[in-house]
Structure 1
Amino acid sequence: MKAKRKVTQAEREEVVTYALKHGKNYQATADKFNVLYQQVYNWVRKFEKDGSSGLVDRRGQRKKQLEPAKELTEVDRLKLENERLKQEKLMLEAENFILKKKWVP
């Protein structure tokens, strides 16, 4: 197995370009650029699907940061609030039940 190393966005694009120019020969590309076969394969797939933006390293980022902010409709916002209140009520009922059990003689 090859040693782990950081690969920049530009290097990924170069690897993908080389692989596509050589008929998607992933093994030859992996050997030439000293990366794993599977990594070349994944980069080519992501590039074909999303272009250069598909090759951006998104590790450590939350999905909310990746997706554009979506405004909720009034109905959706009220449904979320209703669900939150139901959960809060359930927690308070459980707490009340525990306190009653504990302090009853």
Structure 2
Amino acid sequence: MVSYCIANSKDYGKAIERYGVSYQQIYGWVRKYEKDGAEGLSDRRGKGKDQASMSEIEKLRAQLKLKEAENRRLQMENDLLKKLEEVERRQGID
């Protein structure tokens, strides 16, 4: 989208029509591309520090977050299985 917009003399209207994005999105992407190149368009949300630069406490906190997320996933899976058993049991009775 950014290449198309730049190739068409920054005709944001054409890019909006062709790709169905908002003016703010395409304008922001073009600015980021012009400032930082392709690297400026990469999504860095949720990226934490690499393991080598973390202190021991930060490593333990990161491990704890992973375990908590795994526990939530497993709890949801258990709840779903219980519901499924309940539904199957009710259908068997009817």
For normalisation by structure 1, the TM-score amounts to 0.43
Taking CA–CA contacts closer than 8 Å with sequence separation of 6 or more, which of the two structures ends up with the larger relative contact order?
Answer: 1
- Which of these two proteins has the greater Rg computed from alpha carbons? 1
Higher share of residues assigned helix: 2
